Structure 1
Amino acid sequence: MKKTIIIASLIALSCGKSTFNPKWMDEKAPQTFQARFETSQGDFEIEFSRDLSPKAVDRVYQQINHKFYDRIVFYRVVPNFVAQFGHMDSTATANNWDRYKVEDEPVKGSNLKGVISYARAGQNSRGNHLFINLKDNKRLDTVFYNKVKGFPPLGKVYKGMDVVEKLYSGYGNDTMNVYDLLAVNRKAFLKKFPKLDSIKRAYIIK
């Protein structure tokens, strides 16, 4: 019964997204800003800095402002590596956020413990998935992936890193073996991985 309740709650989290508006792309982030993430394990807070990756920080500012990361799961938590989350719902990304690519930028910071960066799959592919480093991952600063060098940091968890470290990590990389299932059949994905933690909402701290 408990598993059923958890799954039902997570499925309900997918409802209520904002309708996309291209004008959001004109919004510029402050030089630095803080955001709070309320999760199933508690809250954590991140400070973002445009000095690190201005185009990407503008994008995450836009996304947080417009509830992009509300009601989603941490679909990949690998102990001693990263906690990753983002949007697999094509109705929230295809033909809207995905149309506005975040251009590649140089790596100015380092992927140390608590630092947050966009995941990416190649050139100009950042924008829908974030990861928080669970340890110092300096190799991510210089590694080449599909002809692109490194993962530029955007900011760092300054409060609640203990919450990030409590996110359920028992599935490790197993979730990535059926990664596409989250996009095409969220219910089946959550039934297969019922212990995943979630973000209830994320918002800018005024």
Structure 2
Amino acid sequence: MRKLAAVFALMASPALATGLQIEVEGEGANGTITVDLLDDVAPKHVEQIAALASEGQYDGVVFHRVIDGFMAQTGDVQFGKLGGDMRRAGTGGSTRDDLPAEFSDLPFERGVIGMARAQDPNSANSQFFIMFDPGPFLNGQYTVVGKVTDGMDVVDAIKRGDGPNGAVTGQPDVMKKVTVTE
């Protein structure tokens, strides 16, 4: 009887998020990015991203750091909202706890999504980045959470930042709406 009850409990539990739809708009990019989340590779990180997205936390968050030939970073739900003080964008996270690293052997290739963090490997929280090009120097150093399956043309059009740190000046492109898909 216990096994049967466990089966029914599993059937009744909500499905895990399998992806995101990110609607982007701005001076550079306009369109939708479709993402497959890799909950089998980084379950804690995927759970956190999906929770933040389902709560609407990512809606209105800018791409604050964009380096041509490298990556576009976003996800600062604390300081990265459009209309806020963009000088602080990239320094915040969320009200949720930082996450322990979930490093894997998946390479950072074009379209891969990784979690941004501070120097401490266990400091990822809400920020993530999308790779424009391969970045093998990141392999095994950052958590891979997903990959773009459609909309790389939108990613490629994201407004680039200036200087070596890629800080976006003026009006940055924004994640207008982020929706969890199943």
TM-score if structure 2 supplies the norm length? 0.75
2:162 partner SS = coil
User: Which of 25, 31, 35 is 2:20 aligned to?
Assistant: 35
Quick one: distance in 2 between partners of 1:131 and 1:164?
A: 11
The aligned counterpart of 1:96 is 95
The aligned counterpart of 1:183 is none
Q: Does 1:113 align with 2:110?
A: yes
Unaligned runs of 5+ in 2: 1-12, 82-91
> RMSD across aligned C-alpha pairs, in angstroms?
2.6
Deviation of 1:198 after TM superposition, in Å, equals 0.7
TM-score if structure 1 supplies the norm length? 0.67
Percent identity reads 27
1:39 aligned partner, one-letter code? V
Quick one: distance in 2 between partners of 1:59 and 1:49?
A: 12
The aligned counterpart of 2:151 is 160
Deviation of 1:155 after TM superposition, in Å, equals 0.9
1:119 aligned partner, one-letter code? A
Equivalent positions of 1:1-206 (< 5 A) are: 30=16, 33-40=18-25, 41-87=30-76, 89=78, 96-97=95-96, 100-121=97-118, 122-142=120-140, 150-173=141-164, 176=167, 193-206=169-182
Contact 2:32/2:154, CA 8 A, preserved across alignment: yes
TM-superposition CA deviations, 1:170-190 (whole Å, max 9, x none)? 5254554xxxxxxxxxxxxxx
Quick one: distance in 2 between partners of 1:107 and 1:175?
A: 26
Which has more helix, going by share of residues? 1
- Count of residues in correspondence between the two structures: 155
1:163 partner SS = helix
Distance 1:66 1:111, change over 3 A: same
Deviation of 1:106 after TM superposition, in Å, equals 2.5
